[in-house]
A = this chain, B = another copy of it.
Amino acid sequence: MEFVTGQKKKNTVEIADILREGMHGNAVKLRGAVHTVRDMRGFSFLVLRNYGGLVQCVADGDSGGAVVLAVRSMKEGTAVEASGVVRAESRAPNGFELHLTGVDILSEPEGDAPLPLPIAKRKLNASLETKLSLRPLSLRNLRERAVFKLQEGIVRGFRDFLFSEHFTEVRTPKIVAGNAEGGANVFQLEYFRKRAFLAQSPQFYKQTLVGVYDRVFEVGPVLCAEKHNTARHLNEYTGLDLEMGYIDSFTEIMETETAMLSYTIGLLFKEYARELAILGIELPSAGKIPSVRFDEAKRLAAEKYSRRIRDPYDLEPEEEALIGRYFKEEYGSDFVFVTHYPSRKRPFYAMDDPADEKFTLSFDLLFRGMEITTGGQRIHDYGMLKNKMKERGMEPDDFAGYLMIFQYGMPPHGGLGIGLERLTMQLLGEGNVRETAMFPRDVNRLTP
């Protein structure tokens, strides 16, 4: 009988090992894919790429003729194990190179067709369309892959901060019987001879789970049949959702988001420095975010930029951009909370402001002029919620499972949802949210 007893020590090293332990003069083995090969006079550079970055390897006369020959004929994308001696070299990536003594091929690409994209270039000079169609390859580019590594960091920040604030992580169904937000933007499917929908929001479930764990969050796919094919919409995106009970005011939700953003920015600064450098990103500050009422925000932007207010009940994207600009210019802030959205523009479960029921105790967070979060306090009173549904022509009996939680008691609560790809887009200053969606889904795009 054999037994598996955990991981064995590998005889290969990682870039981080070399950087940490300073293995100069040591003979090591290291694995990676061929990034580039450059023949120089009397020697060759073999640059390997792995998750840790790039490693420059040098094959020269001392490496032996077989190694030199092997390196010269190597194709980009070949997976190899390089053996060599570490030596300091300030011009090489990470400040060291490997003087090759051997190189073993682990796996080779097919044929001799050149790569359809110059992956090894610093920046892919390709159209968005081309990059997306070739996403499995374009992601291998250092800049492209840094985008989604950074996105990992944003999710980690969200999660780690909320864990520290005693939130419980939940996972809610993506195939559902009803339609949480109302509206027609929902995908339908046949589910064993019943009609089902894809979840456009975890709203009802996260409220339900506030009744269980007081504070919950979810990171999961949001599926939305929105037909608008704009630079800021996706039909599948990642929702960062939270919902918290026992709040005193909807301001508490904004305070939680502010603290979460500050924590996340700190995490990116500490642990994603390499990606920030590759992408040339300057992180914003979220320590102090201005908060302005919806109507006031509209007025300020209209006055300063001489723009007529067309619809007093809605914010157009152009208005969002101007409000963002206003608060950048006047207060130096990349973020601004816009509060008290009109009731008619919010879903039925939004809590109206008792001081003026035309408005809600809700907010959006704009980041560099674009909405990245929608949140607010929810109605927790059964009777009030049922009335609101009837006012909107909804049938309470269709929502029996949801209404049940209010019938048997729910604390005052509220929450928010953040679109991960949009947040990333704004952080990177990209003009199209598809740049920051790994495998974007839109009206025309279902592959790869």
Contact = CB atoms under 8 A, between A and B. Distances in A.
A130 interface: no
Interface in A48-81: 50-52, 75-79
Interface string A372-411: 0000000011110000000000000000011011111111
Contacts of A221: 171, 173-174, 220-221
B409 A259 contact: no
A286 to B, nearest CB: 9
A408 B4 contact: no
Nearest to A16: B166
B77 A172 contact: no
A137 interface: yes
Contacts of A292: 1-2
A410 B107 contact: yes
Contacts of A444: 192
B412 A115 contact: no
Task: Report copies per complex.
Answer: 2
Contact of A411 (B79, B245, B254, B412): B79
A175 interface: yes
A93 interface: no
Interface in A222-279: 223, 225, 227, 235-236, 238, 245-246, 251-252, 254-256, 258-259, 262
Given A111-B407, A439-B205, A331 B170 contact: no
Interface in A1-42: 1-8, 12, 14, 16, 31, 33-34
Interface stretch (A207-215, A317-325, A340-348): A207-215
A132 B76 CA distance: 54
A185 B161 CA distance: 38
Interface string A139-179: 11000010011001001100000010110111111111110
Contacts of A137: 211, 404-405, 408
A190 B192 contact: no
B2 A290 contact: yes
A4 B337 contact: yes
Contact of A136 (B7, B148, B208, B439): B208
A402 B439 CA distance: 13
A125 interface: no
Given A140-B212, A220-B220, A404-B136, A412 B107 contact: yes
Nearest to A75: B409
A283 interface: no
A295 B101 CA distance: 43
Contacts of A198: 175, 189, 198
B174 A174 contact: yes
Contact of A441 (B173, B212, B213, B412): B173
